Amino acid sequence: MPWLTAAGAVWLLAAAVHRAPEPLEPSGFEGEAVLRTDVVDGRYGPWAVVDTGMGTLLLELTDALHLSAGDTVAVSGTVRGDPGRIASHPYRARLKARSVSKISTSRSPPLAVGSAVRSHVIERLLPLDDGRALLAGFLIGDVSGLRPDDVESMRRSGLAHFVAVSGSNVALVLALVWIAAGPLSMGPRRRALLGLMAIPIYAAATRFEPSVMRASVMAGIALGGRLVGWVLEAWQLLAVSIIVLVSIDSGLTSSVGFQMSVAATAGVLVGARWPVRGGRLWRALAITLGAQVAVAPLLLAHFGSVPLMSPLANLVAGPLVAASTVVGAVGVVGPGLFIDLSTLLADAVLGIARGASAWPQVKGAQLVGLALATALVLRWPKLRSAAIVVASAAVAISLLVPDADLPVNGVVVLDVGQGDAILIHSEGRFALVDGGPDELILGDRLRTYGVRHLDLVVLSHVHADHVTGLTGIVGRVGIGVVWAANEPHETEASTAFLEVVAAYGIPVDRPQVGRSVILGSLTLTVEAPLRRYSSPNDQSLVVTVTGSERSMLLSGDIETVAQAELAHLRADVLKVPHQGAATSDRGWLESVGADTAVISVGPNQFGHPADWVIDVLEQSGATVIRTDETGDVAIPLG
């Protein structure tokens, strides 16, 4: 039946041209909705994906309600926004809820039992520290307890597939079910029936993630074939599962999880049959390499890079993940000692991911060159030694040379979205003023510029769009000292940052106005705050960066009150306060005398930057540059 493999591929390609639904016009909503997912308390608030009469929507909540997949709720609110995707779930629009009330719970037996299994696993793993949160990912694909930077580390190291529940997890569930049924002396057909009952329950427990659906359908077809006497080989099972799933939901073709799962499975099948000499280690490496090669184009398309050393990381982490998953599965139904042991193994995997996340990431042209070099070596084995030397040199260079150019002595206003993060560089030394609203974006930008240590971190003020990113890099990037002068103001974000700074023993100074510090050939001078202000924005710690040729004023988010008291400040370059909001004084913007004005801004609903702010700056002779239009802005200061 080789035609099945070709049919599956053709079906997948045909469905891939399926169009996303047209955006919905903003409108009121009042009606019933069925939850596709549990309510998740995400970074930007609680959410769930729901099915409604208007299609699949992202339900945005104000409170983290205790609702599970399959529950039916009555919702009133407003539909707005364009189609998008959250986690692995596509949605047609956003539904901002005013009120939500539960009507009923799903009566589907697999979903009810699966939800009970999921809840039991989570309860057994509480409290979800780093290792236990990762173990929850191994067992049921739930990574909600993992820190965002750890999720990113798993991706950058090429280990993210271990928390995308798939074939090995389904095989483990079937093995445990059959072991438990051992005393019943069941024959092959009865065991197959028992497996067919267990698969939908486990799929429900993992909330029907695309990868587990692919694995579940493949296993279900194999077990069903056993009942009727059909034997399908692995390629045929993969093809049939694609046809079945895409026929049911053509939107799966746009799911990154589904694409990666199909490609990785195909790569594993190729690697398992590739002719290699040697023992199990070489076979395991061939399988890992096959999966990595298969998903490489998708990684490039969706994330822009491929972890070069992923096969090695997988080779080391794979046995630990398998052991952690098996021992953890025993622990959730047995003694807690097994959970403690599996947590230690999960911690080891997390350590590998954190370390390997700093390894080289291969971009498009580099990947093509590497593929060509591999092809040449396979064709002419005598070139192997030279290829190893060249590859090793390329890896060393990629580790040492940053992906982007830095001004030798200057400032880079990083494109971190709606917020501020400003990197200062001189003679190999770095300082950072603010961190933006997202630790993952900040971490990525720092990696791009090869930043591994910050001599100084400045927190301008307490708002989340300036401080949240800083919290995530503590412990990941070396920090010499932190400057903060936020009293009497604090926020949840600033408190969290200062707590983690204290936990790592990093000194925190409250610099006085006039204090200067030398960073290479640059001088950083504190200009404000002059006193305590009622507004956190006016309380911003303002710094002038002076080089041999130019100076730049980093103004935080100061508004009219503080600006009136800082009328004496002059600079060649101005970091415009508060994303260019209409909270500045026209006269002050002009009086700074800058010939360049940089606005750090991202997509927002606040109208930033204000048109009149840009007009005033341009009329005063300044060239206005926006990060949302140009990306990172590098300013040499000499």
Contact (Cβ atoms closer than 8 angstroms) between residue 49 and residue 58: yes
What pLDDT sits at residue 620? 94
pTM (2 d.p.): 0.70
Contact (Cβ atoms closer than 8 angstroms) between residue 149 and residue 443: yes
d(CA 105, CA 225): 34
- For residues 407-422, average pLDDT: 94
Number of residues that make up the chain: 638
Q: Binning pLDDT at 50, 70 and 90, where does residue 559 land?
A: very high
Pick the more confident residue, 330 or 290.
330
Contact (Cβ atoms closer than 8 angstroms) between residue 103 and residue 32: yes
What pLDDT sits at residue 19? 47
Question: pLDDT tens across 210-261, in order?
Answer: 888 888 899 888 888 878 778 778 888 888 888 888 888 777 777 777 888 8
d(CA 401, CA 390): 16
Question: pLDDT tens across 462-503, in order?
Answer: 999 999 999 989 988 999 999 999 989 999 999 999 999 999
Least confident among 41-45, 381-385, 553-557: 381-385
Pick the more confident residue, 280 or 88.
280
What pLDDT sits at residue 296? 81
What pLDDT sits at residue 442? 93
Mean pLDDT, rounded, of the chain: 85
Pick the more confident residue, 505 or 20.
505
Contact (Cβ atoms closer than 8 angstroms) between residue 592 and residue 570: yes
Contact (Cβ atoms closer than 8 angstroms) between residue 252 and residue 211: no
What pLDDT sits at residue 59? 93
d(CA 249, CA 259): 14
What pLDDT sits at residue 392? 60
What pLDDT sits at residue 517? 95
Question: pLDDT tens across 359-376, in order?
Answer: 777 776 666 666 666 666
What pLDDT sits at residue 88? 64
Pick the more confident residue, 270 or 178.
270
d(CA 483, CA 498): 11
Is residue 56's pLDDT more than 90?
Answer: no
Is residue 4's pLDDT more than 70?
Answer: no
- For residues 615-636, average pLDDT: 94
d(CA 476, CA 149): 9
Residue of 529, 504, 498, 494 lying closest to 514 (CA atoms): 529
Mutual orientation of helices 464-473 and 148-156 as an angle, nearest 10°? Answer: 50
Please give the single-letter amino acid code of residue 215: A
Q: Binning pLDDT at 50, 70 and 90, where does residue 1 land?
A: very low
**Integer angstrom CA distances of residue 553 from 77, 153, 344, 495, 497:** 44, 34, 48, 26, 24
Q: Which two tokens stand for residue 348?
A: 């080891």
Residue of 117, 167, 110, 162 lying closest to 333 (CA atoms): 117
- For residues 165-188, average pLDDT: 77
**Integer angstrom CA distances of residue 84 from 58, 75, 90, 92, 322:** 9, 20, 6, 7, 34
Q: Give 3-state DSSP helix, strand, coil % of the chain, rounded to 5.
A: 50, 20, 30
Mutual orientation of helices 310-331 and 336-356 as an angle, nearest 10°? Answer: 170
Q: Is residue 496 packed enough to be buried (19+ CB in 10 Å), middle (13-18) or exposed (0-12)? A: middle
Sole residue written with tokens 């280690």: 281
- For residues 566-586, average pLDDT: 95
d(CA 9, CA 238): 10
Contact (Cβ atoms closer than 8 angstroms) between residue 615 and residue 393: no
Pick the more confident residue, 178 or 335.
335
d(CA 76, CA 66): 18
What pLDDT sits at residue 503? 93
Mutual orientation of helices 310-331 and 280-303 as an angle, nearest 10°? Answer: 100
Q: Is residue 100 packed enough to be buried (19+ CB in 10 Å), middle (13-18) or exposed (0-12)? A: buried
State the DSSP string of 244-281. Answer: HHHHH-GGGGG-HHHHHHHHHHHHHHHHHHS---SSHH
Q: Which two tokens stand for residue 198?
A: 């267990």
What pLDDT sits at residue 145? 82
Contact (Cβ atoms closer than 8 angstroms) between residue 603 and residue 629: no
Contact (Cβ atoms closer than 8 angstroms) between residue 545 and residue 530: no
Quick one: what percent of the chain has pLDDT higher than 70? 89
What pLDDT sits at residue 439? 86
Residues 6+ apart with CB under 8 A from 194: 177, 178, 181, 186
Pick the more confident residue, 225 or 601.
601
3-state secondary structure of 626: strand
What pLDDT sits at residue 17? 44
- For residues 166-172, average pLDDT: 81
What pLDDT sits at residue 18? 45
Residue of 161, 156, 116 lying closest to 138 (CA atoms): 161
- For residues 559-573, average pLDDT: 95
Q: Please give the backbone phi and psi of residue 622, each rounded to the nearest 5 degrees, phi first.
A: -95, 145
Element (H, E) at 387: helix 384-400
